[in-house]
Amino acid sequence: MMSENTRLPFVQLFTDGACSGNPGPGGWGCILRHPASGKEKEFSGGEALTTNNRMELQAVIEGLKQLSRRSQVEIVTDSTYVAKGCTEWLVGWKRNNWRRKDGRQWVPIANEEHWKQLDQLLSQHAIRFTVVRGHSGHPENERCDQLAVAAAALVKST
């Protein structure tokens, strides 16, 4: 018997974020690929004052927002922050009202609004993460980096 996930369309989402200064002007880039049809689209954007982690999150958010129906999604990122956040930390953050322990006290998690939006988008799909090493010659990761750096430069110059 086929599981529901094996009947879903399969897409790959390659993502990267960049920041000139941290915080500073930042950008995100992503590539959405549908291997069965060979179709591929690129997206990017930026913010005048942001952080690298926020841009890494935004790249995944923006890529997932492009999907119009439930899919199997392989998210390929160089951000262990994003991958571990989604696969390990998110459950505890939600259980603890979007807080984490800092010593003996509870503190709000960083980038809470981004994480809440990402949580909602992740729940709509069957997701798996592949973490690649950044700036190591991975073609799609390098292209996403180019998109992110270009988007950051655009917001920096305005």
Active site residue 74: no
Is 125 one of the catalytic residues? no
For this structure, is 102 an active site residue? no
Domain boundaries, the chain: 4-84+126-157
Domain 4-84+126-157, what fold? Nucleotidyltransferase; domain 5 (3.30.420)
pTM of the model: 0.94
Looking up tokens 């952080």 gives: 51
Catalytic pick from 47, 62, 78, 140? 78
> pLDDT tens-digit profile of 33-91?
999 999 999 999 999 999 999 999 999 999 999 999 999 999 999 999 999 999 999 99
Chain segment 105-152, per-residue pLDDT in tens: 999 999 999 999 999 999 999 999 999 998 899 999 999 999 999 999
Angle between helices 139-157 and 52-65 (to 10 degrees): 110
Amino acid at 119: D
Active site residue 78: yes
- Is residue 145 annotated as a catalytic residue, yes or no? yes
Instruction: Check 21, 92, 112, 135 and give the catalytic one.
Output: 135
